[in-house]
Amino acid sequence: MPDLPVKPVYINPEEAGIILEKPLGKRLFQATGLELVTLRLEPGESLPLHINNQPAVFIVQRGQVELMLEDTTGQLSSHEGVYLPAGIPRGWNNPFSEPADLLVIKWL
């Protein structure tokens, strides 16, 4: 195998630092300009409308969630995702019977 120009980084979710308690958010990895976070919404949990100053991609890894924007609500299911620019009010809700796991990729 040829030498790689960079060394791979192995991410162990068990070692992730908790950044939110309810819903549970864990920082998997952070480097210059990039952060990977997992977000778990249990049935009935929500994260109210808030504004992030970073653009982000949200990918539903398991389950379903409602994405709340300022004037609309949409539904995302497993393996679906959305890009949200910085400054867009957003919130998440899980009104479903199963937990939902999201992968969040933020540009810092």
CA angle 48, 36, 25 (to 5 degrees): 40
Which has the higher per-residue pLDDT, 14 or 30? 30
State pLDDT tens for residues 16-46.
777 777 788 999 989 899 999 999 999 999 9
| pLDDT surpassing 90 at residue 72 | yes
CATH level 3 topology of 21-107: Jelly Rolls (2.60.120)
Q: Which two tokens stand for residue 10?
A: 């192995």
Q: Which residue has the tokens 């409602």?
A: 66
**Considering the entire predicted model, what is its pTM?**
0.84
Query: How large a percentage of the chain has pLDDT more than 70?
Result: 86
**Residue 12 pLDDT > 90:** no
Collect all residues with Cβ–Cβ distance below 8 Å to 42 and sequence separation of at least 6: 23, 94, 99
Domain ranges of the chain: 21-107
Question: Given this model, what pLDDT does residue 16 score?
Answer: 72
| Mean of per-residue pLDDT scores for the chain | 89
- Indicate if the pLDDT at residue 2 is higher than 70: no
